[in-house]
Structure 1
Amino acid sequence: MALEAGAFESIHPSRFICFTIPNPSCSDSLLRVAVLDSHIQPADDSPQVGGMLVPDGREADWIFSTESGHSQLLYSSQGISRLILVGNQLKEGDCTSNIYHRPLECSLHQQGFEVWSKPLLLALSPRSLFKNGIPEIPLLNYEDNLISSVVIHRCVGCLVGEMLVEDVEIEIESENGIHHSSLKREFRRRLRFKRMPNLIQTEIHIVPETDHSCDGVSIKDVEFMLDHRVLVHPYLAPMVASLSLISENIARQIQDGFKPKALCLGVGGGALLTFLTTQLGFEVTGVENDGEVLSVAKHYFGLEADESIRVVIGDGIEFTKKIAYHKKMHNGSSFASSEHNDFDHFLDAKISPNFDVVMVDLDSRDIRNDTSSPPLEFVRRDVLLAAKSILSENGILVINVIPLSKSFYESLENHLHEVFCELHKIDVRNGENFVLIAAVSPQISPVSDHCDSFLMQLKSVIPESWINSISKI
């Protein structure tokens, strides 16, 4: 389809156009050009335009090949009204697209991209950008720590849509003495959704089955073992650190012969559920709204439903409200079997839960509103009251928060203050996530580790710095 003359002269909120052009540096190849306008119209009619080069070998990655990926790149580029992506056009039938190895240098950079791209970026800029002369279009850099990756599974969920499981090799900073750090390589398994490809839904540590150093391993040729002893997803360890607030109560419960209970709204790959059971001895109920996600969690992330882990397929918010109502109307004592496709069947077991902790890891499905967590529906007073009602007397509600806006975050804090006795916070320090902890009763810090066996165990499996970073608000 031919582009109309003047198609790019104005910003059209949320408009996405993708086309190919001949590669000026290589006559037998094409470039893919994608133009996305922000969903917010510039208030003063002074749009900002940014150009971005797709990393070599990442052309098939959903981050760079889908509108949802482009949207998240745009929204993470503050102040940019139009984002223009330029990359090599992936050849049809290219079977190497499932495998990526980071090149030493981008081929387009070698071919003088900074020079020949300037006329292209200017031609794709809105007319109002030229009111003070010829503008400078900044070239934005996309950087992450990915060294190599291989896609090991693709599937489609009835609610989340297309998803993939990939093994990756990444570079992470490693402390090397006081005030010194170095980069080390590590293998991980990831779950990503196409609707939000820039967001890693689940990430766990994996190790080669045979003794290999990272430097000598080609990721596509190695079999890996899952390592559930450590939480590598940025906000999961802070969420678990919240248990320090009720550690004495949990320790007494364990001494009396009872397992502590957790309800996890949002399962993903199940890393949190598995960690709570294997490392901390919890009995966990997980709620996930897409059965295919649970299937992936079992086959690729080691989630095992048994007497310690029970999973329910359905909406986490609706489940919370129904189980709160069921608790109010009935008295029971035992859980149902390990997996159910229907809430009513699960509730027919006449359970009367008093969870020690409810952990919420739910995100918004609305890409146009950027990534946010929890969903707006969860912030309603009736939902928060339902969550409070299924907690024990000393229970806590723990929420992974990715604020949609400052006002959203403040509103969430206010609603939690209205319903719960105390509110605490952990800054995950990644520029994105916060963990909010709402307590049913006033929390008393433990006197010492030696008097609190559960706190000692907790500090042995997560960094103590997260525990120390909990602040009351």
Structure 2
Amino acid sequence: MSLLPRTAEEFSSAEYWERFFKKRGEKAFEWYGDYNKLCGVLHKYIKVQDKVLVVGCGNSELSEQMYDVGYKYLTNIDISETVVTHMNQRNAERRPGLTFQQVDATQTPYEEASYQAALDKGTLDAMASEEEGSLARAMLTEVGRVLSVGGRYVCVTLAQESVVKLAVEHFVQLGWAVRLHCLQEESGKEEESFALPVFVLVCTKFRQPMPAPILEMCLGEDGAPVRLARVADLLSAVREHQAYGVLKKRLRTSTDAGSNLSLTLCHTKTGLPRYTLTVQDCPPGAKVPRSNQFAIFIVPQGSETTWQYSSAEGRRELAASANFRRLVIAAMHRNQEYSDMQAVQSELSPMVMDLAPPGMPANQQVPFLSVGGDLGWREEVSSGVSELSGEYCVENVKGEDGELYRRLVFLSNTSLVQSESRLVASSTASSHKKRNKKKVKPTTSSASLSVDSGFLCCAHHEVMVAGLAALGVGTPENKDVPVSVLLVGLGGGGLPQFLRDFVPDVTVEVVELDPAILQVAKEWFGFRPDERLTVTLGDGLERICALEKGGDRLFDVVMFDADNKDNSAGMSCPPAAFVETLILQKVRRLLTPRGVFILNLVCRDSALKKSVRERVAAEFPTILSRKVEGEVNEVLLCSLSSDATRILPSLNRAAKSLQGALLRSSGTGTNHLPHIDVAELLKDLKVE
């Protein structure tokens, strides 16, 4: 190891290689692999009868082994006099036709078109670092000169981005075809190998330059070529394979319960994502049976966003319950077809041992785990593009409870369900009284399904509804007292529709920024605006400012349930501007004296969350909070009352009244019952 270059600049130094080979002596230096690893791809592109120029041969045994299997027309050149002398002496008797010459690869004495192939193992990598690649370009120009039409430059390389970019762009400009093979290490061999995969670059010379670049990537020596449109796409594919190589090396040599490593496997023909694999190791010191080394868990289709599979905490909990040293959690992608569990296992099996924990024998069986033994079910019913939110899809899925659900998912963040509703068969909607009482089989006929408006799929929506107990809804003293709600954020419309259908004497104004979301809510989530449920299209901040400035409308409840379109922000709900002091002051002035501000807060940044809470507390004397189990969401119930000691007892008394009011209202205008336990939702409230 001490003989390897310390800096990239040394790679192209003749003095360095003189010192290197003098120290190395008789021992061959098989940089990037030997003949056994490379023979498959070499025989694919270099014919036995070809005249081959081996550029920068060093003291590698590659030329000797090729000579022994029939390649008799090999001309080996190297800049080092020491290595040339040594290699000629070593082969004089045994391989008299194998010649080694001290030649500068940038200035060779050979005639034009005198070789059918040029073989380079690591020389391009060595030269590309010098003088901003000028030496490498000179070498490639010389290679192009000595190759005949149809000839190939075959380069074994680690494909450092600057190196492969230089070579590919050089030959693309000449109108050559470019193909890159990524050679994979055999499973279990990573401990003795480079972390980075070895690539073989094959550039083919044409009589007439190609009018459009031919760029292809192959996995392994026999992988089907995938055509790429741009050099940038080829470089991106190289980076992905390199990242995978580093990941494999890391996984095969160490474990880390907190690393939460993941990778995406794409379809070899289409290039589309097919599986996402997340690696979860058990913590140090965990008592794991010796037989439980490694397992693959298949996430049912439609369950990918479930807390247990989509969050780091949930995956740790899943791994702990499975009790394996390493658990790989495999999620299937939408818009991909999967026939059955056996087919999925067969597809993943070749990749399994790449991810095995350190020291695990290569021949050990790896079990596949799942829930219920099937793949789950998913059906896309609609898709579109919002100018504000990007691509989206509406899909029906079967939950792990056997029920059917409809979801709205923005493809910019497929791990997050934007809206969800439970579905029931239209013919049985009126008799569907109890949660999980009757299972509905998946059907491809969306017309036969309807949204159960009495069921709130989002747990934070249930808490927000339960917060209406602070108004005393349903108590004798508030009988026939109207309730006015301003809700920012429509989604699928489940929350405002529940309020309209089940809260007595309520009027709801929803403010939604995105017209496409309103259309989706109407078409696929059964959203039905009327005189008690209206929608204002526009910016929520502007609407709040306009209402506050007008001064003629007050609300008993203001709810924020708007998501943040900026995925890089530490707070995904609401957008940061909604919790600035100026807006919070306007919200306070929009509330009636008994009014409540209800905020759905989703913030992973602890410092940012603390700042938001401090700003809210500065405007509202009393804040009750409730974390949603298994979610990042936290619901804040913010009251204008300064008597915090009376809030919780009064809420507990009002919970029963609100529950009764919701049930009584279900008899008018809807065939569904509200599935919500107000008292249970309020019992874990904390006073801030």
TM-score, length-normalised on structure 1? Answer: 0.67
Paired letter, 1:112:
P
1:60-71 equivalence runs, <5 A? none
The answer for the alignment partner of 1:154 in structure 2 is 383
1:131-170 equivalence runs, <5 A? 147-170=376-399
Rounded to whole Å, the distance in 1 between the matches of 2:571 and 2:339 is 28
Change in CA separation of 1:87 and 1:20 when aligned onto 2, cut-off 3 Å: farther
Change in CA separation of 1:99 and 1:315 when aligned onto 2, cut-off 3 Å: farther
1:326-405 equivalence runs, <5 A? 326-327=550-551, 352-369=552-569, 372-405=572-605
> Are positions 1:301 and 2:539 aligned together?
no
Pick one of 424, 429, 436 that aligns with 1:207: 424
The answer for the alignment partner of 1:81 in structure 2 is none
State the number of aligned residues: 380
Rounded to whole Å, the distance in 1 between the matches of 2:261 and 2:521 is 38
The answer for the alignment partner of 2:219 in structure 1 is 22
> How far is the alpha carbon of 1:313 from its aligned partner?
0.8
> Are positions 1:271 and 2:494 aligned together?
yes
Paired letter, 2:488:
L
Pick one of 598, 604, 608 that aligns with 1:408: 608
The answer for the alignment partner of 1:456 in structure 2 is 660
1:189-200 equivalence runs, <5 A? 189-200=406-417
Larger strand percent: 1
The answer for the alignment partner of 2:681 in structure 1 is 466
Rounded to whole Å, the distance in 2 between the matches of 1:429 and 1:114 is 33
Cα offsets for 1:220-245 (capped at 9, x unmatched):
24621111011111211011111122
Cα offsets for 1:390-447 (capped at 9, x unmatched):
1110111111111131111111111111101200001111141110111112464438
The answer for the alignment partner of 1:126 in structure 2 is none
Rounded to whole Å, the distance in 2 between the matches of 1:465 and 1:86 is 35
Pick one of 337, 351, 355 that aligns with 1:113: 351
The answer for the alignment partner of 1:171 in structure 2 is 400
> How far is the alpha carbon of 1:266 from its aligned partner?
0.4
Rounded to whole Å, the distance in 2 between the matches of 1:99 and 1:431 is 30
**Native 8 Å contact 1:270 1:301 kept in 2:** yes
> How far is the alpha carbon of 1:270 from its aligned partner?
0.6
Rounded to whole Å, the distance in 2 between the matches of 1:87 and 1:421 is 45
**Native 8 Å contact 2:275 2:330 kept in 1:** no
Paired letter, 2:423:
I
> How far is the alpha carbon of 1:368 from its aligned partner?
2.2
Change in CA separation of 1:386 and 1:450 when aligned onto 2, cut-off 3 Å: closer
Structure 1: tracts of 5 or more residues without a match: 11-18, 38-45, 79-83, 91-95, 123-138, 173-184, 328-351
The answer for the alignment partner of 1:97 in structure 2 is 335
**Native 8 Å contact 1:450 1:456 kept in 2:** no
> How far is the alpha carbon of 1:205 from its aligned partner?
0.8
Rounded to whole Å, the distance in 2 between the matches of 1:451 and 1:432 is 25
**Native 8 Å contact 1:297 1:303 kept in 2:** yes
Change in CA separation of 1:98 and 1:438 when aligned onto 2, cut-off 3 Å: same
Change in CA separation of 1:423 and 1:156 when aligned onto 2, cut-off 3 Å: same
Rounded to whole Å, the distance in 2 between the matches of 1:60 and 1:251 is 60
The answer for the alignment partner of 2:87 in structure 1 is none
Change in CA separation of 1:390 and 1:447 when aligned onto 2, cut-off 3 Å: closer
Change in CA separation of 1:87 and 1:472 when aligned onto 2, cut-off 3 Å: closer
**2:491 aligned counterpart, secondary structure:** coil
**2:159 aligned counterpart, secondary structure:** coil
**Native 8 Å contact 2:470 2:654 kept in 1:** no
Cα offsets for 1:176-213 (capped at 9, x unmatched):
xxxxxxxxx11111111122221111111101235699
**Native 8 Å contact 2:386 2:392 kept in 1:** yes
The answer for the alignment partner of 1:136 in structure 2 is none
Aligned identity (percent) is 21
The answer for the alignment partner of 2:261 in structure 1 is 50
Change in CA separation of 1:428 and 1:143 when aligned onto 2, cut-off 3 Å: farther
Paired letter, 1:5:
A
Change in CA separation of 1:62 and 1:429 when aligned onto 2, cut-off 3 Å: farther
Paired letter, 2:461:
L
Cα offsets for 1:327-352 (capped at 9, x unmatched):
1xxxxxxxxxxxxxxxxxxxxxxxx2
Cα RMSD after superposing both structures: 4.6
> How far is the alpha carbon of 1:97 from its aligned partner?
2.8
> Are positions 1:424 and 2:424 aligned together?
no
Cα offsets for 1:264-314 (capped at 9, x unmatched):
100011100000000113210001101111011111111112101110111
**1:163 aligned counterpart, secondary structure:** strand
**1:304 aligned counterpart, secondary structure:** coil
Rounded to whole Å, the distance in 1 between the matches of 2:623 and 2:494 is 26
**1:392 aligned counterpart, secondary structure:** strand
**Native 8 Å contact 2:474 2:657 kept in 1:** no
- Greater Cα offset, 431-440 or 459-468: 459-468
> Are positions 1:227 and 2:439 aligned together?
no
Paired letter, 2:534:
R
> Are positions 1:240 and 2:444 aligned together?
no
Change in CA separation of 1:224 and 1:201 when aligned onto 2, cut-off 3 Å: same
**Native 8 Å contact 2:266 2:274 kept in 1:** no
**Native 8 Å contact 1:264 1:287 kept in 2:** yes
**Native 8 Å contact 2:424 2:440 kept in 1:** no
The answer for the alignment partner of 2:482 in structure 1 is 259
> How far is the alpha carbon of 1:161 from its aligned partner?
1.4
Larger helix percent: 2
Rounded to whole Å, the distance in 1 between the matches of 2:419 and 2:466 is 18
The answer for the alignment partner of 2:404 in structure 1 is 187
Rounded to whole Å, the distance in 1 between the matches of 2:457 and 2:218 is 41
The answer for the alignment partner of 1:313 in structure 2 is 537
The answer for the alignment partner of 1:434 in structure 2 is 634
TM-score, length-normalised on structure 2? Answer: 0.48
Greater relative contact order: 1 or 2 (C-alpha under 8 angstroms, separation 6 or more)?
A: 1
Paired letter, 2:540:
G
- Greater Cα offset, 436-445 or 449-458: 449-458
